[in-house]
Amino acid sequence: EEPVPAKQNVELVLSNVKNPDGGTYYFVCYVLAAGDIPLPSYVGTWIVSIGR
């Protein structure tokens, strides 16, 4: 896979996902810096609540 250039928007698409149980889910995102030592960097947390 190729690195994503800095400041470029990225869209994540989840497919073949089964409906989860109701509740609150946290999606925590880290990215790896390009280079010899890929250091992780925190991007953000998205909270998704699914009702029953």
Q: Which of 1, 19, 18 is nearest to 10 (CA)?
A: 1
Average pLDDT, the chain: 87
Q: How far apart are CA 48 and CA 26, in angstroms?
A: 6
pLDDT-derived band of residue 50, with 50, 70 and 90 as boundaries? confident
Domain borders along the chain are 1-52
pLDDT tens digits for range 10-35: 888 888 878 778 889 999 999 888 88
